[in-house]
Amino acid sequence: MPAASTPSSAPPERPSAPGSVRGRLRDLTSADGQVFQAWEALPPEGVTPRAGLIVLQEIFGLTDYIREVCNSLAEQGYHVLAPALFDPVRPGTVLAYDQAGLTEGLALRDRLSPGVPQQLITACLDTLRKEHAGHAKGGEKAFPVGVLGFCWGGLLAWEAAQSLPVNAANCWYGGGIAQHCSPPPACPTELQFGAEDSYIPPADWEMIHKACPEVKIFIYPGAGHGFGCTTRASYDPEAASLAWKRTLEFFKTYL
């Protein structure tokens, strides 16, 4: 059964406090020639990356929150890339966290050709593996890379775990996972859901657990959709603290 979580009484935990890492936009090219941008954040100078992470946006684009997450994860020693998933249809799109932004984001998502998000994710994966081939034994494939997704990105992270050679996947409130349970993830995968998420009913948790019992599912009482995003009205600091603690421990274990 999915595990219910008791919110921690400790102060909210983030990947790290704001530090010296300042990310940047970087141009990348997918295998089919699609040029797109990704937010890149590297560990502090002199620190060899422990692993790579691909961070997948919410439906609102590469928002300041997503960029902050990337920078904070880089402080933990990860080389982080977050592809701008709307670039193939509208480059540079960042939307407001409101109903209009949600509606526009869904429309942009629907304009993407099938498979395009996975092509951009694959380009990020290939970039990380090639750039750090010398940092791990066994060549390019040995450098560990995980994927972390929020909202729409949570579903994309799940699909990456099913079909791409990533080493671990962590999915925060990814809608639609229950309808895409086959095949099961091919790497360690962990899910974080809010108990009061109006977009993801409890029946979905049960469907996922039944189809993929090896996947760890955490449920956060009182938390709604987007509970981890500091700039959304649904932000729940206690649930976010515990979810971040688990996420960081998860990647430390599997990457």
Q: What is the CATH number of the domain that holds 65?
A: 3.40.50.1820
pLDDT of 192 > 70? The answer is yes
Could you list the beta-strand ranges (E) of 19-163. 24-29, 35-41, 51-56, 78-83, 145-150
Q: Of 79, 124, 197, 212, which one is the catalytic site residue?
A: 197
> What pLDDT, on the 0 to 100 scale, is given for residue 134?
77
CA–CA separation, 21 vs 23, rounded Å? 6
What residues make up the domain containing 54? 3-254
Q: Residue 140 — very low, low, confident or very high, per pLDDT cuts 50/70/90? A: low
Residue type, 213: P
pLDDT digits over 92-107, tens only? Answer: 999 999 999 999 999 9
Does the annotation mark 225 as catalytic? yes
Look at residue 198 and tell me whether its pLDDT is greater than 80.
Answer: yes
Task: Note if 151 is an active site residue.
Answer: yes
Distance (Å, rounded) from C-alpha 250 to C-alpha 160?
17
Residue 6: pLDDT over 80: no
- Say what the pLDDT of residue 137 is: 56
| pLDDT mean across residues, the chain | 92
**Under 8 Å CB-to-CB from 105, ≥6 apart: which residues?**
58, 59, 60, 61, 86, 95, 152
Name residues whose C-beta falls within 8 Å of residue 221's C-beta, 6 or more positions apart in sequence. Answer: 4, 5, 6, 7, 195
- Of 217, 214, 213, 233, nearest to 225 by C-alpha is 233
Q: Are strands 168-172 and 216-220 parallel, antiparallel or unpaired?
A: unpaired
Query: What value does the mean pLDDT take over residues 181-193?
Result: 98
What φ, ψ does residue 198 adopt, rounded to 5°?
-75, -15
Judged against a pLDDT cut of 80, whether residue 127 lies above it is answered with yes
- CB of 174 closer than 8 Å to CB of 149: yes
Name the residue type at position 111.
R
Q: How many domains are there within the chain? A: 1
- Residue corresponding to tokens 């775990």: 161
Active site residue 171: no
pLDDT at 36: 98
Q: How far is CA 140 from the centre of its chain?
A: 22
pTM as predicted: 0.92
The one catalytic residue in 151, 181, 212, 229 is 151
The residue annotated as part of the active site, out of 204, 212, 225, 236, is: 225
Indicate the pLDDT class of residue 133, thresholds 50, 70 and 90.
Answer: confident
Residue 70 has pLDDT above 50, yes or no: yes
Helix, coil or strand: residue 128: helix
Whether pLDDT at 142 is above 90: no
Q: What is the pLDDT of residues 215-247, one digit of tens each?
A: 999 999 999 999 999 999 999 999 999 999 999
